[in-house]
Amino acid sequence: MKHVRTSTLLSVLLLCFVVACRKSATQSVDPPAKAVPATQAVEAAPPVVDDARLVNAEQDTGNWLTTGRTYSEQRFSPLDLINTNTVKQLSLAWFLDLDTTRGQEATPLVVDGVMYSTSAWSKVQAIDPVTGKLLWQYDPKVPKEVGSKVCCDVVNRGVAFWKGRVYVGTLEGRLVALDAKSGNVVWSVVTVDQTKSYAITGAPRVIKGKVIIGNAGGEFDARGYVSAYDAETGKMIWRFYTVPGDPQQPPEENNPKLADAAKTWTGEWWKLGGGGTVWNSMSYDPALDLLYFGTGNGLPWSGTVRNPKGNDNLFLASIIAVRPDTGEYVWHYQTTPGDIWDYDATQDLILTDLTIEGEKRQVLLQANKNGFFYVIDRTNGKLISAKPFSTVTWATGVDLATGRPIENPAARKTADPKAPWVGMPGALGGHNWKSMSFSPQTGLAYIPANDLPFVYSDYQSFKALSIGMNLGYDGVPGSFPQGDAKVRQQILGSVNGYLRAWDPVAQKEAWSVQQPGPWDGGILSTAGGLVFEGNAMGLIGAFDAKTGTQLWSNPAQTGVIAAPISYMAKGEQYIAVVAGWGGVYPLVAGDATRKGSINVNRSRVLAFKLGGTAKLPDEPKAADVKPLPRVGTDAEVAQGFRLFTDACWRCHGDAAVGGGITPDLRWSPIARDAAAWKSVVIDGALKERGMISFAPVLNAKQAELIRAYVTMRSNQSYAEMQAEKM
Ligand code: CA
């Protein structure tokens, strides 16, 4: 079931009954929609953020003007009132609870005395950065069934600001310009084919009056592209496709290279779109006038299905530089040629200058999903160095002469279900979208790194689905096999999260701190000699940027995945973060999320300052759970497992273990009753909450087989929990 439905189900569940999957873990639910305060005008005149101000954002020390703070996207704050000496006095200044409980991935902006953030379902907030008062909220009213079209939760990573307007991409593919004073819509354009599973989760960037926006959908039926729209009018100026289209059609004018790229594809990739979506990272060098963005994985993931000849499939999993005025191609570097492991190259693209072997180099840094840390000459795309920053088993290195990975041949052997490829990094990456930071003060990059294996096992007799992801692999149940407890424990034992400081010149670790995750938060570094990161256990920590020594922490009472920011207001420095557990990991990872994560989901913005006096409310107690009455024979349970894998796991978790975002089906009151179950799964009773009808892909009998599997898992888990208590 999709997360959409999931959230639906969740909400409903909450209302009737609080579900807890274990002692410390209450299940999250969308609360009933709270009344949003009437729109109130922001008092001050709209601030002017123009070209010159964005180019000079580095000097604009008290503000946070664009998602990575500056065009170089370093996420480094030059503020130092909060520093290694004073940080022990850091405490909560205010918090603001938000009206969604899905994943929160936004980096807020602070522009001349107003904070602008986003939350799940693409809502936008203007907040007083001193008091936390909500000034206005814009709800784009994304249809909840769109949640079924996104792989990785109904998230949004933030807004762009330009000349008194706030720009947001909405989940179902609109780009919307809002008046910064009122939150009223100035213009809104649809940027995708809404009959397909495109989604926007990334933050727009504005360059020279153009709003640059990409999209997601590379796990479904998307052909990747990035577009530029006139910030004044919403008129599209250019579009750059990242993979070739139907060879019967003429290639797109902005990218004549697509004709060459088409030579690196075989089969009929264009029918599903090919993937290569531009769903997260961008940066800009004003002096070189180059816009950089990263592209996603191939679609379907499996090479057996998409790319049996093992070609490069340009421009998948690549870093691309274009002219921001025209979208004209300048260079590309493909990090994972012929990707079959979901190694999107969409992690941060941080720009800085480094002295390497005595020579000053203009570089671009990326801690790629594939586990390699790349240092690239950003003037021409030439690889300078690449070394593994997390556990890497798919390749032994990167050949600096060719720029190509030196692959482990076993990593492409995915066809034998009895001997699949169990690889590191897995599909969730050595580093995912969680923001990396670079401190020019220490010369170190700070990476939220993961060790997360994945079992790459071809889905025998794969056929593209109209609802659901089209990976060509057997999904997460393959990753965490239920049948073999030893293998499962071995895989779970290798799952880890780290805050890792990386020296990009020496290409080696400076220090590393084990975090409770994987799936900890994005990172901020500051001139106060500090690094800030929230984690999966719901703690926000401050670390010494030189040594990694933890100097401070404070609870958020929910898992934190987004990155903190810092700003000045009324003469005081603040650290702020949007907290809220979510994203793909808790949706799909099942049992793995029982390790090292708080598994509680609420959404709130928290701001800290020296001597803050705000207090968080007391934590509610988790309710006990009861197992579901078993239904179905063992044979029916086995059939139900197969169907669950096809339709349900990507929102309700591997082995039906909920990760705290969508309802944990093992304890769901709806799963107690065949008629209630059918009304939700087949009839779409919870459609408005995002749990769409699966009638297009399941019949009522199949739905009941899934219920049989879920009731089996409920009893299995309950027995395990009782055994743990003894
Ligand atoms: Ca992907």
Please give the full DSSP string across 661-679, using - where no structure is assigned: SS--GGG-GGGG-HHHHHH
pLDDT, tens digit, for every residue of 553-571? 999 999 999 999 999 999 9
13 vs 8: CA distance, rounded Å: 8
Residue in the structure block whose two tokens are 């800030």: 532
| Average pLDDT, integer, range 681-695 | 90
Give pLDDT, residue 47.
Answer: 67
Neighbours of 626 (CB within 10 A): 12
Q: The sheet that has 437-439: what strands, in order across it?
A: 437-439, 444-451, 496-503, 508-515
Give residue 93's pLDDT: 98
Listed in order, strand segments (DSSP E) in 184-307 are: 185-190, 205-207, 210-213, 225-230, 236-241, 282-285, 290-294
Is 3 within the bounds of a domain? no
Got the DSSP string for 256-267? Answer: THHHHHHTT--S
* 263 CA from centroid of ligand 1 (Å): 23
pLDDT digits (tens, 9 = 90+) for 92-119: 999 999 998 899 999 999 999 999 999 9
Tell me the CA–centroid distance for residue 53 and ligand 1, in Å: 34
For tokens 């840390």, the residue is 373
Residue 624 belongs to some domain of the structure: no
Q: Are the beta carbons of 378 and 321 closer than 8 angstroms?
A: yes
> Is pLDDT above 50 for 20?
no
Give the SS3 label for residue 644: helix
Ligand 1 geometric centre to CA of 317 (Å) = 9
Closest CA to 607 of 145, 95, 53: 95
Whether residues 598 and 668 share a domain: the answer is no
pLDDT at 2 over 70: no
Contact 682/695 with Cβ under 8 angstroms? yes
User: Is there a domain that residue 602 lies in?
Assistant: yes
CA angle 591, 103, 648 (to 5 degrees): 50
From ligand 1's centre to the CA of 342, what distance in Å? 5
Q: Are residues 76 and 222 in the same domain?
A: yes
Q: Which two tokens stand for residue 595?
A: 């390790």
How far is ligand 1, taken at its centre, from the CA of residue 651, in Å? 16
How far apart CA 238 and CA 10 sit, in angstroms, is: 41
Last residue of a domain, one of 610, 644, 671: 610
Residues 678 and 596 in one domain: no
| 5: pLDDT strictly greater than 80 | no
Residue 599 sits in the same domain as residue 659: no
**How many angstroms does the Cα of residue 281 sit away from the middle of ligand 1?**
13
Query: Which of the residue ranges 295-304, 373-382, 658-667 would you say has the lowest mean pLDDT?
Result: 658-667
Using only the alpha carbons of the chain, give its radius of gyration: 24
Residue type, 551: L
CATH of the domain at 218: 2.140.10.10
Average pLDDT, the chain: 89
Q: What is the DSSP string of 541-592?
A: EEEETTT--EEEEEE-SS---SPPEEEEETTEEEEEEEE---SHHHHH-GGG
Number of structural domains the chain divides into? 2
645 or 54: which leads in pLDDT: 54
**Rounded CA separation 604/34 (Å):** 14
Residues 561 and 645 in one domain: no
Q: Is the distance from CB of 638 to CB of 645 less than 8 angstroms?
A: no
pTM recorded for the entire structure: 0.90
Are residues 280 and 354 part of one domain?
yes
Q: Which among 244, 30, 236, 22 is positioned nearest to 123, based on CA atoms? A: 30
Q: How far is the CA of 251 from the centre of ligand 1 (A)?
A: 25
Mean of the pLDDT values across residues 442-456? 94
**Same-domain check for residues 467 and 510:** yes
Give dist(CA 636, CA 173) in Å, integer.
Answer: 40
Quickly tell me which residue has 């759970």 as its tokens: 625
In the sheet that holds 604-610, the strands lie side by side as 90-97, 604-610, 572-579, 565-569
Asked whether residue 616 is assigned to any structural domain, the reply reads no
**What is the rounded CA–CA span in Å between residue 392 and residue 449?**
12
> Which of 558, 577, 610 finishes a domain?
610
For residue 35, the model assigns a pLDDT of 38
Could you list the active site residues? Answer: 342
Average pLDDT over residues 422-430: 94
Q: What type of residue is 377? A: D
DSSP 369: T
Does the residue 629 lie in any domain?
Answer: no
Structure-block tokens of residue 68: 């990575």
Check whether residue 269 and residue 347 sit in a common domain. Answer: yes
338 domain-assigned: yes
pLDDT at site 29: 36
Q: What does DSSP assign to residue 199?
A: B
Q: pLDDT class for 493, splitting at 50, 70, 90?
A: confident
Cα 297 to averaged position of ligand 1 atoms, centre (Å): 5
User: 498 and 639, same structural domain?
Assistant: no
pLDDT single digits (tens) 70-83: 999 999 999 999 99
545: CA distance to ligand 1 center in Å? 31
Evaluate whether 604 touches 556 at the Cβ level (below 8 Å).
Answer: yes
**Are 593 and 669 in the same domain?**
no
Per-residue pLDDT for 23 more than 80? Answer: no
Beta bridge partners of 81: none
Q: Are 172 and 305 found together in one domain? A: yes
pLDDT, one tens digit per residue, over 268-303 is 999 999 999 999 999 999 999 999 999 999 999 999
pLDDT at 462 over 90: no
404 in a structural domain: yes
pLDDT digits (tens, 9 = 90+) for 33-65: 343 443 444 455 556 899 999 999 999 999 999
**CATH code of the domain containing 657:** 1.10.760.10
Residues 34 and 115 in one domain: yes
Domain encompassing residue 371 = 8-610
Cα of 222 to ligand 1 centre, how many Å? 11
Percentage above 90 pLDDT, the chain: 72
